[in-house]
Each structure stands twice: as C-alpha cells, then as structure tokens.
Chain A
C-alpha cells in the first residue's frame, strides 16, 4: 500500500496511538490483577467486610 511521501508521519501516528492504547489496557489489566491478588491475601487470612460476614454468598 502506497502511503505517499509522508508515510513516516502516518506510520508514526498509528504507532503512537497503538502504544498509548496498549499502555491504557495494560494499566487496567495489571491493576485488576494486583487488586485481586491483595483481596485473595486478605481472604486467606480470614479478614472479611461486614457485609460478607452477614451474607457469605455475596461477591
């Protein structure tokens, strides 16, 4: 595909956008894993929130 004389700028634009979106997705995903892991540690130690003690079936 011929991108013309300014192909470098077009490729740079798409690359930069891809990197930014990838960084966003990575941030959300890694944050999720960290929170899940910390919550699992708390659960392993038997620490629970008030509503969980009242109703053990809620998430």
Chain B
C-alpha cells in the first residue's frame, strides 16, 4: 500500500465505509481537517476540565464516604473512557480487517496508549479510594480483576505494535487481538451483576436511571465529558503524529532505494 501517496487505494470487492469516513481515508485530507480543529478541541478540553474540577471540589461530602467521594470524580470517568477507548479500537480493528480503511490502523495504534493511561488512572484511583473505604488497596473481585486484565491487554497490544516492523502486518495482528479482547468489555460491565463482588453495583448506567443525587451526578458527568474531550484531542493529535511518522518511513525507504540503485 502506498502510504501517504495522496491517491485513493483501489479497493477490492469489500464493503464500502460510510461516505464521510471514505472521504477522510486520504491521510492528507485527514490532516487538512484535523489540524485546524485541534486547538479548538484542546481549548474545549481545558475549559471542561476546569469546570469539572471546580464542581468536583464544590461537591458536598457523601454521607457514607465523606470527602473521599471526590476520588470518584476521577475514577468513574476514567473507567468509562478506558472501556470506550477499547470500543473505539474495536471499531478501528473492523475498519482494518473488513473495510481496509487506510487510517483505521492509525486510529487503533494511537488509541492504545491513551486507553492504557485511562485504565491506569482508574486502577490507581480505585486503590486509593479502596484503602480508606474497604481497608485494602486491592481485592481480587470480578470488577477489579477484569479491569486489570483490560490493562494487561492494552499493554499487550502496545507491545505487539512495537514487535512487528511492517505497519500493515502489525495492523492486522493488532486488529485481531483487539477484537478478541473486546469480549472483556461486557464482562467488565456486567461483572458486578453476574458475580458477588465487593465493588459497587451499577449506579449510573442502569435500568431505572441513575441512582445518584444530582449534586454528585453533575460533576461526574462534566468530568466524563472533559475526559472524553481529552481523549478525542489526544487521539487526533496522536493520529497526526503517526501519519507524519509513516511519511518519514516512506521517505527513508525511498532514500534507501535510490541509494541502492546508484
């Protein structure tokens, strides 16, 4: 595949992606759209974070948890983003394997470190909440264990990307691994329902609506939006970096070819 050549790849008889995605298949076109948008996204992220943190610190103490409920304003959005990021990677994996979208593997590769970071934040904030509340930094219950496995899977995909030199072969291997790992997402979500766990059962995304008072729910949602904006901003910026990196690789290969011919 001629990476970064600016010419659409002649696709074999595979399914076509929706019109907007196929128009963004050209990496140069993608950069044209993404680069002007990035500063605005970054600004929106900073604003949302500022608003969320403000609300988090103004939030009242929980009658059971006291002030440690403020840790939840980091822990819960980080958990949601950790799952959401793997879902995005799974979509990208389908884009690589089914539609052969040229930017799908760029999306998948760059999302992994961001998702790993959100999972890490989720695990550590959870441990710091658990120590005062449960008396232990860690317990091996179903929800915590499945999120730890998600973290290991993120690290595994990142290692896989680094292990294979050729980007398109690495992309296919990583896509398969990502889709197989997606089975973990419903396990994490429903683990607190299926098993008898110490971790709190679902209190926001449940039938019957959220079970949390709005004075706690509002900062939670605002922080979740802020984290989502952070993810989108970082992801687009990392995709831009990866496209540039592949251009450099193409240039190096061209240089080596001309040096070998002369």
Q: Measuring CB to CB, which residues of chain A are less than 8 angstroms from any residue of chain B? A: 1-7, 9-10, 12-14, 16-17, 20-21, 23-25, 27-29, 31-32, 35-36, 38-39, 42, 47-51, 54-55, 58-59
Does B159 interact with chain A (Cβ within 8 Å)? no
User: Is B148 interfacial (CB 8 A cutoff)?
Assistant: no
Given A10-B71, A16-B121, output 16 extra A-B contacts at Cβ < 8 Å: A3-B70, A6-B67, A6-B132, A7-B67, A10-B68, A10-B70, A13-B129, A16-B125, A20-B121, A21-B230, A25-B234, A31-B241, A32-B241, A36-B244, A49-B5, A49-B6
- Indicate whether B181 reaches chain A with its CB closer than 8 angstroms: no
Q: Does B113 contact A (CB under 8 A)?
A: yes
Most buried by A among B28, B114, B128, B129: B128
> Does B124 sit within 8 A of A, measured CB to CB?
yes
- Bound Cα distance A32, B254 (Å): 22
Interface of B is mostly: helix
Q: Within 8 Å of chain A (Cβ to Cβ): is B61? A: yes
Interface string of B226-251 (1 = CB under 8 A from A): 00001000100110110011011011
- Asked whether B28 lies within 8 Å of A51 as measured between CB atoms, the reply is yes
Q: How far is the CB of B167 from chain A (nearest CB, A)?
A: 15
Bound together, the chains give a CA A59 to CA B114 distance in angstroms of 27
Could you mark each residue 111-155 of chain B with 1 if its beta carbon is under 8 Å from any beta carbon of chain A, else 0?
A: 001100100110011001101100000000000000000000000
Is the CB–CB distance between B6 and A9 below 8 Å? no
Question: How extensive is the interface on chain B, given as a class?
Answer: 35 or more
Chain B residues with CB under 8 Å of chain A are 2, 4-7, 28, 31-32, 57, 61, 66-68, 70-71, 74-75, 78, 113-114, 117, 120-121, 124-125, 128-129, 131-132, 230, 234, 237-238, 240-241, 244-245, 247-248, 250-251, 254-255
CA distance A31 to B248 in the complex (A): 13
Residue in A closest to B227 when the chains form the complex, CB atoms: A21
Report the minimum CB–CB distance from B9 to chain A (whole Å).
13
Contact (A49, B129) CB under 8 Å given A20-B120, A28-B234: no
Choose from A1, A6, A21, A51 the contact partner of B68 (Cβ within 8 Å). A6
Residues of chain A contacted by B132 (CB below 8 angstroms): 5-6, 9
Establish whether residues B74 and A59, one from each chain, have CB atoms under 8 Å apart when the complex forms: no
With A24-B114, A55-B6 as given contacts, are A17 and B78 in contact (CB-CB < 8 Å)? yes
**In the complex, what residue of chain B is closest to A2 when comparing beta carbons?**
B67
Residues A50 and B5 in contact, CB atoms below 8 Å apart: yes
